């Protein structure tokens, strides 16, 4: 939005420089991080996620994809009073939006790393604490936002014709330019998450991975991994980002990657729900 300075994933507006305009990006609790699996501490307070309406298809709501110049967001305008989200540690987090992070080739793309390993795609399901009323107010609190991160690994054997995500991935090509928006078929949020994922995750306290980099995010990083084909991945790399100056002319930048590099832990602990 207009209060942001230009920022991007390369050159002089890339992640190294975000803190010039967005000082929180230089904070001590930044995301993403490398999750070292053998250093994660078991914590029995990490009870299973309780989802509400993740499996519901709201046939009367508007589901859409939009390219905001930094990622593709899946959103829904729910005209019902029924909310979608999850309960965690007794607190209600409402669904805000879902988006994707990818890389220039299949060996990179995820923002978090698992024991130094990259995945080609990471989906972020963004929620805010119901008590704080809305997403932007939640950014003022250390426990205001909960992002559930899901890694996707390459698997060209997945049956893309019999996959509830087919329509979502097919519609990526309809939001090539920043600002584009297209409606999609209603899809339950559960389609983005592997089966039996509710009780096995990592958790740590961090930030938004893009400016303003607010340190208001409780991260849940899923241990089970989803699948994506190489042609589905390829569609993301054709997207265009914001306009930028290329030697005198102004051109849309190709969004070949949108993965912030890993950030220092600075003594933070990473917890696991699995003993």
User: By the 8 A CB rule, do 236 and 72 touch?
Assistant: yes
Quick note: the x/- pattern for ligand B30 over 3-42, rule CB under 6 A, is xx--------------------------------------
Residue closest to 180 by CA, chosen among 7, 60, 64, 8: 64
By the rule CB under 6 A, 208 interacts with ligand B30: yes
By the rule CB under 6 A, 209 interacts with ligand B30: yes
List 210, 222, 223, 272, residue binding ligand B30 (CB under 6 A):
210
Query: Which one of 56-64, 184-192, 208-216, 225-233 is the stretch in contact with ligand B30 (CB under 6 A)?
Result: 208-216
List 11, 116, 136, 156, residue binding ligand B30 (CB under 6 A):
136
By the criterion CB under 5 A, which residues form the site for Zn ion?
124
- Secondary structure of residue 136 in the 3-state scheme: helix
Residue with nearest beta carbon to ligand B30 = 212
Q: What is the DSSP string of 83-147?
A: --EEEETTEEEEEEEEEEEE-SSTT---SSEETTB--SEEEEEEEEEGGG-SHHHHTTSTTSEEE
What are the counts of helices (DSSP H) followed by strands (DSSP E) for the chain? 4, 17
User: By the 8 A CB rule, do 251 and 244 touch?
Assistant: yes
By the rule CB under 6 A, 222 interacts with ligand B30: no
By the rule CB under 6 A, 1 interacts with ligand B30: yes
By the rule CB under 6 A, 147 interacts with ligand B30: yes
Contacting residues toward ligand B30, per CB under 6 A: 1, 3-4, 124, 126, 136, 139, 147, 208-210, 212, 214
């Amino acid at each position: 939005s207009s209060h942001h300075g230009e920022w991007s994933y390369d050159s002089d507006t890339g992640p190294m420089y975000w803190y010039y305009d967005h000082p929180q990006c230089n904070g001590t609790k930044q995301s993403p991080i490398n999750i070292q699996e053998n250093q994660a501490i078991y914590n029995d307070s990490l009870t299973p996620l309780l989802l509400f309406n993740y499996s519901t298809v709201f046939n009367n709501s508007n589901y859409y994809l939009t390219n905001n110049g930094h990622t593709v967001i899946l959103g829904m305008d729910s005209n019902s009073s029924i909310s979608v989200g999850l309960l965690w540690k007794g607190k209600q987090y409402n669904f805000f939006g879902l988006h994707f992070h990818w890389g220039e080739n299949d060996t990179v793309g995820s923002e978090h790393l698992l024991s130094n390993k990259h995945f080609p795609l990471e989906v972020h399901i963004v929620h805010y604490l119901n008590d704080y009323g809305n997403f932007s107010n939640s950014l003022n609190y250390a426990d205001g936002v909960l992002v559930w991160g899901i890694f996707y690994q390459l698997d060209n054997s997945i049956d893309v014709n019999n996959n509830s995500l087919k329509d979502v991935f097919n519609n990526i090509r309809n939001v090539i330019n920043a600002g584009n928006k297209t409606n999609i078929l209603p899809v339950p949020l559960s389609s983005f998450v592997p089966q039996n994922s509710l009780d096995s995750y990592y958790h740590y306290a961090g930030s938004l991975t893009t400016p303003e980099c607010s340190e208001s995010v409780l991260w849940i990083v899923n241990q089970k991994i989803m699948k994506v084909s190489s042609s589905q991945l390829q569609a993301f790399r054709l997207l265009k980002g914001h306009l930028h100056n290329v030697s005198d002319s102004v051109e849309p930048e190709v969004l070949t990657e949108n993965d912030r590099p890993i950030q220092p832990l600075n003594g933070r602990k990473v917890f696991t729900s699995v003993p």
